[in-house]
Structure formats: C-alpha cells, structure tokens
C-alpha cells in the first residue's frame, strides 16, 4: 500500500514537473494578459499545505486546465495530510464537480470560494451517515435495565486500552458505573495494563488468565454488570492486523457473543493510506458503529478521520489528544477541518 502511495506521488510529481516544463517552454502568453495568469510558484518545498495550494489558485480563471492545476495541488497536499489516495481522489472529484463551470462574481474572492468548496466536500464526508450519541446509547440500554456494551478493536498499538481508560473516566464523571473487560488475553501484559488503569480510576475489572477465551471474559463482565447493576461494560481486545485470519475470527466471536451496543474502531491518526484498508476490513468482518481516532496530538493533520469516515459511513465519536485520562475530546468536524486546511 505504501508502495502504491509512493508510486502515485511519483506520478503526481512527474506530471506536475512535466506541466511546469511545458509552461516554461511555451511562448510567454502572460505578456498579453499579465494579470490573468499568475506565475506558478516554485516547487522547491514539497509541503504545500492545503491553504497554500489554494492561495496559488487565487486570481486565476477557472478554465478546465487551470482547474486541473488547482486540483493537482490540492491532491498532493491532501496526501501529505495523511488522507488516503482513494479518499483524496473522491474529494478532488467532488471539488471538481462543485467548481466546474462555476462563474465567480466580481466581488467573490476565488481563494475563499475554493477554500469553502473543499471544506464543504470534507464536511460532507465527515458528517455522512447517522449521528451516534454514546451517552444516549447508554441511556437507552439502561432504561431497559441492561448495561450498555461497548467493544473496542483495531490494529496493534492504536490506543484502544488507553482510550478505554479515558472513556471509563469520562463515563464515571457523568455518574455512570463502569466495568472493564480484560479481553486482550493475547498479548503478554495486556491484562495487567488494563488492570493498572482500573486501579487508578477505581473501576471494576473482570479478567481471566492470559490465553483465556476473549469472548468468555467479555461475557463474564456483562453478566457481572447485569448482576450488580453496572451501567456500562467496556471491552478491551487485543490489537490485530486486519489480515490476521485467526484473530479476525476471534473478533467476530467476541461480537457474536457480546452483541455490543457499539462496535468501536480505534484508529491511529498517523495512519495514512492503510486507514482505508483497516477500516474496510474491520467494517466488513466485524462491523463498525463509530470510530475513535487517537494520537491527534502527535503532529497529525487528521486525514485518517476522513478516510475512516468515508469507508465506514459512520462517525468519529472522540479524538485522543494525549496520554492522560483527560486527553479525550468529543469529535467535531472543525477539529479535523482546521488542521487539514492549515498551511503546510
Ligand atoms: N500521544 C498520544 N499517545 C497515545 C494516545 N492514545 C494512546 N497513546 C499511546 O499509544 C501507546 C499505545 O497505546 P495502547 O492504549 O496500549 O494501545 P492499544 O491499541 O491498546 O495497543 P495493543 O493492545 O498493543 O494493540 C501508549 O504508549 C499510549 O500512551 C493519544 O491520543 N496520544
Ligand atoms: Mg491494548
């Protein structure tokens, strides 16, 4: 996948370079209409940033070829912001459709128009699908005298266990009693890691030994919650590559046995192209009701949020913005759109 991205970038850059060379070789048409076509800036710096790419587009007529130039610049900057290739392609198509044939009024600032169009296209993707209100889901289940069951999954090291601890605190602060299920029985230290969080937060944890059946641990935790009147069960699971058949089968079993109210995909904001493949496979095999994107603090532009939402059609619920228990923020499109539209 990385190779494909590199190949695509190579092609994009080759095409841009070719265009620049063609422009340099062409007769200086600007002389007739010096204001109509600003010079293309140098590409010495590969990081364009969406805003800078848009700035380059200002003041030019949106003829098909100029539009193509804008779109290439935008595509490169989207890829640099970790937006996966198919999602960047989709965004570019949407921007193209919205801008094609668009007549700019005299008072309209082309930069603002292009910026607004890109933002609109991104927002369409981020807001697609029905809304999921985690607290409402919990409340609805509790009204039926049952605990809400939330299962978390994703590839290795994305932030599942840390997120569960953060969410336990978030739910506790809202007066809800939480049980953690240590269903990462696969990785050495997986159970202990969750146990440390449970102790620090003062929440209950249901566990078995390492190697135990993960679905059985989750089932026990749900039974425990029902018996003791707990309101939420958070099920931690082992990290697994979406290509690992056995562990994906195990994940399906956990979901079959626990019948979760929310199946939450936990992604890493620094994932680029692979976000699409991860989200697609987990969605097909397990089903995703919503996602949480961690490590947004780690120099991430948040392109992965677009990729995951585009593939699943389900919302991002929270962003992880650090390693502390407080570092969890409710998702709003602006939180992603701002860094994505920032200059590189
Ligand atoms: N900067 C930053 N680090 C995070 C965030 N969330 C998790 N981490 C860190 O990422 C590392 C992995 O987090 P875990 O919660 O263990 O990830 P996991 O998905 O449970 O990992 P596995 O169970 O091994 O698959 C830890 O060092 C966390 O502190 C976040 O939002 N920001
Ligand atoms: Mg974990």
Ligand 1 binding pocket includes 323 (Cβ within 6 Å): yes
Q: Where, residue-wise, is CATH 3.40.50.300 in the chain? A: 134-341
Average pLDDT over the chain, rounded to an integer: 85
Ligand 1 binding pocket includes 187 (Cβ within 6 Å): yes
Architecture of domain 134-341: 3-Layer(aba) Sandwich (3.40)
Q: Where, residue-wise, is CATH 1.20.120.140 in the chain? A: 2-126
Is 342 a residue whose pLDDT tops 80? no
DSSP alpha helix (H) spans, the chain: 2-25, 50-57, 64-80, 85-99, 110-126, 134-143, 160-172, 190-201, 214-228, 245-258, 274-285, 303-312, 333-341
The atom of ligand 1 lying closest to the CA of 164 is: 15
Output the CA 188–ligand 2 centroid distance in Å.
10
Supply the pLDDT for residue 77: 83
pTM, two decimals, is 0.84
Supply the pLDDT for residue 49: 64
**For a substitution probing ligand 1, which of 323, 325, 326, 328 has the most ligand atoms within 8 Å of its CB?**
323
Return contacts of 99-104, CB within 8 angstroms, 24+ apart.
99/62, 99/67, 99/70, 100/64, 100/67, 102/62, 104/62
Domain 2-126's class?
mainly alpha
pLDDT for 183-216, tens place per residue? 999 999 999 999 999 999 999 999 999 999 999 9
């Amino acid at each position: 996948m990385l190779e494909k991205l590199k190949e695509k970038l190579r092609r994009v850059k080759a095409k841009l370079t070719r265009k620049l060379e063609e422009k340099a070789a062409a007769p200086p048409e600007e002389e007739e209409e010096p204001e109509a076509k600003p010079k293309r800036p140098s590409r010495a710096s590969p990081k364009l940033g969406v805003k800078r790419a848009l700035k380059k587009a200002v003041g030019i007529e949106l003829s098909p070829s100029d539009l193509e130039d804008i779109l290439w610049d935008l595509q490169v900057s989207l890829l640099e912001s970790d937006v996966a290739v198919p999602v960047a392609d989709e965004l570019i198509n949407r921007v193209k459709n919205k801008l094609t044939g668009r007549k700019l009024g005299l008072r309209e600032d082309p930069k603002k128009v292009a910026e607004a169009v890109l933002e609109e296209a991104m927002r369409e993707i981020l807001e697609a699908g029905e809304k999921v209100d985690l607290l409402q889901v919990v409340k609805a289940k509790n009204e039926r005298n049952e605990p809400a069951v939330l299962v978390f999954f994703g590839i290795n090291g994305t932030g599942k266990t840390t997120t569960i601890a953060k969410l336990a605190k978030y739910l506790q602060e809202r007066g809800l009693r939480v049980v953690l299920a240590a269903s990462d029985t696969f990785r050495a230290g997986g159970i202990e890691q969750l146990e440390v969080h449970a102790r620090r937060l003062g929440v209950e944890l249901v566990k078995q030994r390492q190697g135990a059946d993960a679905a059985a641990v989750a089932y026990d935790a749900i039974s425990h919650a029902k018996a003791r009147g707990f309101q939420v069960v958070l099920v931690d699971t082992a990290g697994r590559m979406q290509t690992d058949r056995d562990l994906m089968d195990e994940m399906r079993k956990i979901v079959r046995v626990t019948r979760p109210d929310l199946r939450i995909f936990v992604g890493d904001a620094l994932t680029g192209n692979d976000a699409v493949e991860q989200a697609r496979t987990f969605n097909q095999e397990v089903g995703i009701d919503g996602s949480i994107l961690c490590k947004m603090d780690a120099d991430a532009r948040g392109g992965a949020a677009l990729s995951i939402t585009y593939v699943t059609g389900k919302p991002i619920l929270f962003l992880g913005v650090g390693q502390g228990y407080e570092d969890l923020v409710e998702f709003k499109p602006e939180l992603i759109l701002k860094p994505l539209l920032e200059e590189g």
